[in-house]
Structure 1
Amino acid sequence: MNRLIPVTQVATNPPSHRSSDKIYPRSFSGIYRRLRIGAGAMLFTLYFGTVWLNWGERQAVLWDITEKKFHIFGATFWPEDLVLLSAILIICAFGLFFITVLAGRVWCGYACPQSVWMWAFLWAERLTEGDRGQRIKLDDSAFSQHKALRRFLKHSLWLLISAGTAVTFVGYFTPVRDLAPNILSLELSGSALFWVFFFTAATYVNAGWLREKVCLHMCPYGRFQSSMVDNDSLVVAYDASRGDPRGSRHKGSDPSAQGLGDCIDCEMCVQVCPTGIDIRDGLQMECIGCAACIDACDSIMEKMDYPKGLVRYASDNELNEGTRHILRLRLVAYFLILVTMIGLFSWALMTRPLLGLELEKDRGLFRFNGSGYIENSYLLKLTNKDIETRHAVIKVSGGEGINMLGPSRVILRAEEKREVPIILEKAPDSLVSEVTSINFEVSTVEDPEKRFIIPTTFLGPINR
């Protein structure tokens, strides 16, 4: 059995700036930064762009809580379909487990919304206040007009991004093409206005002020990371056997002659880290796997004419033994579970009934009509979950001599709900029991082979 990689708890404050708990990530460049920017741009495009797509005459993705309809492109989900939406969340959870076992917290570093929005806010901060050294100097300086202007520009950008995020989020629950003009004309409803302000504030606080504290103290993912990864999981790691002992030296000098490893102890890996950790202390709960330290270290190794990869994606076995096992029981098990769940979900989605049925019986037991027949009243609720018109056919079976008074055919337009009152009558002398079991059978002209059966009862007195 693979042993777990130990996770070390270390101080999160870089030793290279003033003694406060604020972290000042430094700007850097590299392949992983470009990958992260690409992933973030894709997420931003999906988030801000999907809400404006149309599907036919309606918004393509819309969770209409008022109408209790959840539109996802060509599919419409109703409250009774929530189990399918829950299945999507479970599939995402197992997908996250699989990715974690394979490559650690790569989700956190490249695709987690908290991380992506945090990087966007850091970009806005760097644009308005400068790089790491300039921001530290600005924070330490006395209040001035220059400082106030920098702060104003930064927070204006933060609020602009937050407001755009909030309006887009609310637009997934309220048609965005009505929401946006209402905001500009100040005609927004009270509830929509509340949620826009709420999510603006939440984004502003989370990505602007809390930042890495959400990852360190609020997100449970880092807490159970150590129980998910194993000796063969890819994580951001420092090669201590190559880098230690650490020490400064001149470029071109022979580190082995000085008894040193390749690490020049420049602390660039610490300065670029968004959570302020030192990756050289080992895998830590605070590491979000963003690979900023890899890009920073590779740039230093390149300047020193040393091989890259002192800090790299590697497994514990790879660092200690030089080998890594890709296929192992835990990874295969998560993969099989994930594939199975995706298959079951696809089957359930394809075979889910597109005709919803509910039957309510009148509270009165029975009554006699003007012809002396016994009557029972019912209310049949039909829901067409399809995006095309369907023609429902209604029949009653199971009770001899029962006549149905009411429509036997109902036209259901796309995504329409209809309530159909139905009266059943029966001659008193034909009753053999006070309770007669019957069935309502509903089918559609478009698919006559698929029948929906709802069992119920017909009540009436027996002549003695």
Structure 2
Amino acid sequence: MPSRLHLHVVPPSAAPLPRPRAALRWRALLWSALLAGFYLLPWLRWEGRQALLLDLPNRRFDLFGLTLWPQDLGVLLGLLAVLAVGLMLLTNVAGRVWCGYGCPQTLWSGMFGWIERSSARHLRRPALARAVKHLAWALLALWTGVTFVGLFSPIHDLVAGLWPPAWRGWQTFWVMFYALATWGNAGFLREQVCIDLCPYARLCPSLCDADTPQVHYDARRGEPRGPRAPGQGGVIQRGRGLLDPVSASDYAFRAAHPALAGPMPNFPEDRLGDCVNCDACVAVCPMALDIRSGPHPDCIACGACVDACDAQMRAWHFPTGLIRPASPNGVQQHARRWLRPRTLAALGTLLVLLGIGVLRL
């Protein structure tokens, strides 16, 4: 670990700041649309039948007008293979966008968290807030279980059997199983599901390379962090410039590990970086990470810390982009390569699978 604590800066003209990034205000709309699509999916009709119904007892799969029978199992497996390879290609090119924007664990954890915050904000009595929260969680989890089983059993018959109870044994078991799984995973385990249980999260590092975007904190611009009086401007505006990479990494490490590296020295306000140490990025992270300590394999790239930091930068009249998506090569100012070995392997496999599917049809 470097031991020097003095500032080494790069002249402002030699270190342009990244372009401002618009806030992802559509994230909540996207999550709402995906959740609404899931709950509405079993109710869609196609030619007088449920549009998507995996009817296991009758060995018939209806997929929006396409009917698959047991002898068509290869078609279903092919569709699953195409989706799996497509996810691999997406991960290599765009990073963990599936985790941040489409994963059911992310969507339901966000919904359960919103219910928890809303009940605590609107109900002053903690006991009442907890009761309302768990009641809402239970109802949402139960309806999630009903909706999921409704993809395997006609949804109209399933809902009609809610009261008086008329479910079969397997329907009751799977509704309660998925209700309890939703309640436990989204209400209590949350990020631990991604860290300890999700196999896709373990595979992601092997699918990514030096040109795959990930959330990055610009330590050269942000360090040394600390509170300051308003009105001083960012490091470029007041001419301090960016730190050299070694000093920036040193300060970021010391801020993240004070017990190991010792306390940071006191810097005058005009030598501080653009990070005001507000911890807004930490507060909004669904994985409870501090991205300023360096790229983390458990980061799901949801962009919440990016938006929170950009909001703070605008409030302080600093340029946005202190935390931003960037590839390791992009951080080093290297040109991005679009045709890489893993990209070509995933793209080639996807094209082969699609070609086989076209020939089969």
TM-score in same-fold range (> 0.5): yes
The count of aligned residue pairs is 307
The structure with the larger Rg is 1
SS in 2 for 1:96: helix
The CA distance in 1 between the partners of 2:194 and 2:184, in whole Å, is 14
How many Å apart are 1:193 and its aligned residue?
Answer: 1.6
Q: Which amino acid aligns with 2:53?
A: L
**Contact 2:142–2:179 (CA<8 Å) still a contact in 1?**
yes
Once the two structures are superposed, the pairs formed by residues 232-243 of structure 1 within 5 Å of their partners are: 232-243=211-222
The CA distance in 1 between the partners of 2:174 and 2:40, in whole Å, is 20
SS in 2 for 1:222: helix
- Residue 285 (structure 1) aligned to one of 254, 276, 297: 297
SS in 2 for 1:236: strand
Deviations 1:81-134 (A, max 9, x none): 222211222211111111111121111000011111111111111110139xx9
Matched, 1:62 2:53: yes
Equivalent position of 1:319 in the other structure = 331
Equivalent position of 2:189 in the other structure = 210
Deviations 1:219-239 (A, max 9, x none): 122223222211111111111
Once the two structures are superposed, the pairs formed by residues 174-193 of structure 1 within 5 Å of their partners are: 174-193=153-172
The 3 A distance-change label for structure 1 pair 60 and 224 is: closer
- Structure 1, unpaired ranges of 5+: 1-29, 139-145, 351-464
How many Å apart are 1:290 and its aligned residue?
Answer: 0.5
Instruction: Please report the TM-score for the alignment, with normalisation by the length of structure 2.
Output: 0.80
Once the two structures are superposed, the pairs formed by residues 322-333 of structure 1 within 5 Å of their partners are: 323-333=335-345
The CA distance in 2 between the partners of 1:35 and 1:347, in whole Å, is 39
Deviations 1:34-69 (A, max 9, x none): 332232223223211121122223211111111111
Equivalent position of 2:283 in the other structure = 271
SS in 1 for 2:298: coil
The CA distance in 1 between the partners of 2:73 and 2:28, in whole Å, is 34
Equivalent position of 1:72 in the other structure = 63
How many Å apart are 1:324 and its aligned residue?
Answer: 2.5
Which has the higher mean CA deviation after the structures are superposed, 253-262 or 152-161?
Answer: 253-262
Equivalent position of 1:304 in the other structure = 316
The CA distance in 1 between the partners of 2:207 and 2:47, in whole Å, is 44
- Residue 272 (structure 2) aligned to one of 242, 245, 260: 260
Equivalent position of 1:31 in the other structure = 23
Equivalent position of 1:48 in the other structure = 39
The 3 A distance-change label for structure 1 pair 191 and 330 is: closer
The CA distance in 2 between the partners of 1:251 and 1:31, in whole Å, is 23
Q: Which amino acid aligns with 1:168?
A: T
Once the two structures are superposed, the pairs formed by residues 81-120 of structure 1 within 5 Å of their partners are: 81-120=72-111
Deviations 1:341-373 (A, max 9, x none): 22322332x2xxxxxxxxxxxxxxxxxxxxxxx
- Structure 2, unpaired ranges of 5+: 1-21, 241-268
Deviations 1:289-348 (A, max 9, x none): 101000000001001111100101111111122532333332233223223322322332
Q: Which amino acid aligns with 2:344?
A: V
**Contact 1:36–1:109 (CA<8 Å) still a contact in 2?**
no
How many Å apart are 1:77 and its aligned residue?
Answer: 1.0
Q: Which amino acid aligns with 1:278?
A: D
Matched, 1:334 2:346: yes
Higher helix share: 2
Which has the higher mean CA deviation after the structures are superposed, 77-86 or 331-340?
Answer: 331-340
Matched, 1:170 2:149: yes
SS in 1 for 2:273: coil
Higher strand share: 1
SS in 1 for 2:314: helix
**Contact 2:23–2:310 (CA<8 Å) still a contact in 1?**
no
**Contact 2:150–2:158 (CA<8 Å) still a contact in 1?**
yes
**Contact 2:207–2:342 (CA<8 Å) still a contact in 1?**
no
The 3 A distance-change label for structure 1 pair 98 and 259 is: same
SS in 1 for 2:158: helix
RMSD over aligned Cα atoms: 1.9
SS in 2 for 1:62: strand
Q: Which amino acid aligns with 1:102?
A: V
Return structure 1 stretches of 4+ with deviation > 4 angstroms.
none
Q: RCO higher in 1 or 2 (8 Å CA, sep ≥ 6)?
A: 2
State the percentage of identical aligned residues: 42
Instruction: Please report the TM-score for the alignment, with normalisation by the length of structure 1.
Output: 0.63
